[in-house]
A and B are shown apart, each in its own frame.
Chain A
Amino acid sequence: MAGAPQWVLQRRAHAEEQVESRGLPQPHWEAWRGCDLGALTPSRLTSVAAPALASSVAPAAARGAGAVTDPSSDPLRGPIGLLPAPLCDAASARLLFVDGRLTSPVEASEWPPGVTVSVLSGVGAADAHDTTATTAAVTTAAAPEGSAAVASDQAASLWQGDGWAASHLGAHAKADELPLAALNLARTREVVVIHVAAGIEVAEPLLIGSYCSAAAAGQAVYPRVLLCAEPGSRIGVIEWCSGAAASDYLHIPVYELAIDRGARVEWTRLSEEGEVGRQFATLRATVQADGELALHSHLDGGAQVRADLGVVLAGSNAGADLSGLVLGKDASYLDHHTAIWHCAAETYSRQLFKGVLDESACGLFDGASHVAEQAQRIQAEQQCRNLLLSDTAQARMVPRLEIYADDVRCSHGATSGELDEQAIFYMRARGIDAAVARLLLTEAFAEGAIAAGPCAVAAAYQRQQLRRFLPGGEAL
């Protein structure tokens, strides 16, 4: 299968039109109020020109991560080692974008039975603005065993105009509504589609990484992933975003999750951007009846990171558990914008976001729960807690409830404060150093958010990263 399907090209053209007609986010737009938009300038939104592979990324050994597969089997395995080793080791399969391009071909043998992965690559490779590219190619892989016949059929129909990629690409993160999703669709170089067949349960998580190298400095990177979980399926994904320390790249990933009836998706975002890197991520999920999304977002590092997480609960008894942890220091600006749309009766959403903010970091949580008139007997809970470790750290919290139904249970709470001096004294009076007492209490605070995430592997990694984040934490 060669050449991008016509419908993809049309959607990209439409997205580009949206970018040109609506423009970039403006500070007076409600969703972007208070957000520093200085980095979103046309000159910086140019897509990185060349794929950055092994030659332009740090070797794995230098970061201590360790490659997970035999480098000799594939010349492109080197960059895979950029992925954190503990996550790599636990994942059932891995994908890594470097500067918006996949670093290794999709191999059928890697994917769990019932999971089909397809990549539309080379779209607009010559020029990020060229939406009429003809160099696109699709590669598809599905597990060869067990479900080969089904997978083969799916591969053939995947990119057809009436296939599920066409049904969902751009249908959740809509170009008409989200300017950065439009920008991403117009300029992404590769689109990854992951399909989980009905009833399939994948025990180990998939790992999808996106890394911005030094070559991306001053430019933008647009990875895009679409996940379709068919009825009754279950899958976990760890999504990791990072970049080179001194590279002032702009990372604009978009993730769309289509969760069908009774399916469960456990999605863990781990954002660990380079110290001057910036990220504006968009995730949009639609959950059908009896489906569930467990979504966890960990923001650690980067000059500016905004994770825009939106969930539509479209069918009755659909649910979303959102949680997150923000670790901010220096002058970083770390922002969770969440929105849950309760569109059906007896849906539920639970949100717990925590922030540990040190030095001059600023953490923002803006959480909205929208309840439609027909969405009776829903439950929506939202909690945001922040711990300020310095006098100059800031926490801003904006809970929003928009309720049109009359039989609902909605609650929200937002707090920020310092460590409990009584608890510190109690611990010191038992012989524990003041510094250790502070560390233990900070860890205990963060643990509530970490434990709320759906993935044990990611949680263990978060605990490790938390100790690196806290001064003196590694000595514990």
Chain B
Amino acid sequence: MLRIEDLHASVAETPILKGVQLSIGPGEVHAIMGPNGSGKSTLSKVLAGDESYTVESGRVDFEGQNLFEMPPEERARAGLFLGFQYPVEIPGVNNSYFLKAALNAARAARGEPEIDPVSFLKRVRERAQWVGLDDSLLKRPVNAGFSGGEKKRNEIFHLAVLEPRLAILDETDSGLDIDALRAVADGVNRMRDPQRSFLLITHYQRLLSYIEPDYVHVMVRGQIVRSGGKELAAELERSGYAAFEDEEAA
């Protein structure tokens, strides 16, 4: 589904990603863990198409297409979803209206008609329940005045409504209390599907107690230095990142 080859990227001429290699197959759940500044969030932004990052070299194929030839909206319509670490407030744009516009943009790209209002409403209500999002937040402007936990739930709610092929969740667990974390994890687990893949980016092993990954990768200084199964997360929890500081990319 996603193949990243020797990806180098920079921001403001400072190299951040220094040769990332990663492959994600259909239905797989991958987790990238790493210390602050290791490049985890940069990787997610580069994959989503944030123009404040510069891709220096390398290639990323998503569903057989060269990702870097697609603007951010095309990537999203092709099924790539980024759950933001800091969801942006959009005052004045109704959450539900926004989602409908996003959903219909993806449907139009696939040559499908717009979703009918009844089906949309049904889907929105059902998925809001999955993540414990209060109905009143559907009518409010996107993320405006939401608490930190509500913003993260809203990200997973968007994910649940849009049904992407690959969801990249950038530190969705940060700042969440235990109930919110569980609700977010429940939402993600409900969305797990043999055809849908996840890339979880996190500092902590805690999230992985609720969402069991198939693969865990450790990122240090812009490279993935170790990959393994879910047991690698437990090892990280015990040893900390310091033990991986001197490792080079495999």
Contact = CB atoms under 8 A, between A and B. Distances in A.
Interface of A: 420, 422-423, 425-434, 436, 440-441, 443-445, 447-448
Given A422-B88, A425-B72, A431 B105 contact: yes
B76 A430 contact: yes
Contacts of B99: 430
Nearest to A447: B92
Contacts of B148: none
Given A433-B105, A436-B101, A444-B141, A428 B71 contact: yes
Given A434-B73, A441-B93, 14 more contacts: A420-B88, A423-B88, A425-B51, A425-B72, A426-B87, A428-B72, A428-B76, A429-B49, A430-B158, A430-B162, A440-B90, A440-B98, A444-B93, A448-B91
Contacts of A447: 92
Contact of A434 (B71, B98, B106): B71
Interface residues of B, number: 31
B158 A426 contact: no
Contacts of B48: 429
B90 A426 contact: yes
Contacts, number: 77
5 contacts: A426-B84, A428-B71, A431-B105, A432-B102, A445-B92
Given A422-B88, A423-B88, A436-B101, A429 B72 contact: yes
A420 B93 CA distance: 13
Given A429-B49, A429-B72, A429-B82, A443 B88 contact: no
B175 to A, nearest CB: 18
A432 B76 CA distance: 8
List of 8 A-B pairs having minimum Cβ-Cβ separation, nearest first:
A444-B92, A431-B76, A428-B72, A426-B88, A430-B102, A431-B105, A428-B73, A431-B102
B124 to A, nearest CB: 14
A429 B168 CA distance: 11
Contacts of B105: 431-433, 436
A444 to B, nearest CB: 2
A23 to B, nearest CB: 46
Interface in B39-69: 48-51
A448 B49 contact: no
Contacts of B49: 425, 428-429
Given A425-B50, A425-B51, A426-B84, A431 B90 contact: no
A58 B56 CA distance: 60
Interface string B75-116: 111000110100111111100001101110110010000000
Contacts of B98: 427, 430, 432, 440
Nearest to B105: A431
A443 B93 CA distance: 9
A301 to B, nearest CB: 24
A432 B73 contact: yes
A441 B72 contact: no
Contacts of A420: 88
A431 B51 contact: no
A430 B98 CA distance: 9
A430 B109 CA distance: 13
A431 B91 contact: no
B102 to A, nearest CB: 4
B144 to A, nearest CB: 10
A413 to B, nearest CB: 16
A423 B90 contact: yes
B91 A444 contact: yes
A423 B76 CA distance: 15
A180 B146 CA distance: 50
A333 to B, nearest CB: 27
Contacts of B101: 432, 436, 440
Interface string B106-134: 10010000000000000000000000000
Nearest to A440: B93
Residue of A423, A426, A428, A430 with highest tally of chain B CB at under 10 A:
A430
Nearest to B102: A430
B233 to A, nearest CB: 27
B87 A431 contact: no
Contacts of B91: 444, 448
Nearest to B143: A426
Contacts of A430: 76, 81, 98-99, 102, 158, 162
A429 B102 CA distance: 9
Nearest to B106: A431
B93 to A, nearest CB: 5
Contact of B73 (A422, A433, A441, A448): A433
Contact of A429 (B76, B90, B93, B106): B76
Residue of A420, A432, A445 with highest tally of chain B CB at under 10 A:
A432
A431 B71 CA distance: 10
Residue of B71, B72, B91, B99 with highest tally of chain A CB at under 10 A:
B72
Contacts of A441: 90, 92-93
A423 B87 CA distance: 9
Contacts of B51: 425
A440 B73 CA distance: 15
Nearest to A428: B72
A440 B102 CA distance: 12
A427 B158 contact: no
Residue of A428, A434, A436, A444 with highest tally of chain B CB at under 10 A:
A428
Nearest to A451: B92
Contacts of B50: 425, 429
Contacts of A423: 88-90
A169 to B, nearest CB: 42
B47 to A, nearest CB: 10
A313 B72 CA distance: 53
B150 to A, nearest CB: 16
A433 B162 CA distance: 16
A443 B103 CA distance: 20
A441 B102 CA distance: 14
B97 to A, nearest CB: 9
A425 to B, nearest CB: 6
A423 B84 CA distance: 12
Residue of A422, A430, A431, A441 with highest tally of chain B CB at under 10 A:
A431
Contacts of B103: 431
A234 B106 CA distance: 49
B102 A448 contact: no
Nearest to B74: A431
Contacts of A433: 73, 105
A448 B162 contact: no
Interface in B214-241: none
Contacts of A426: 84, 87-88, 90
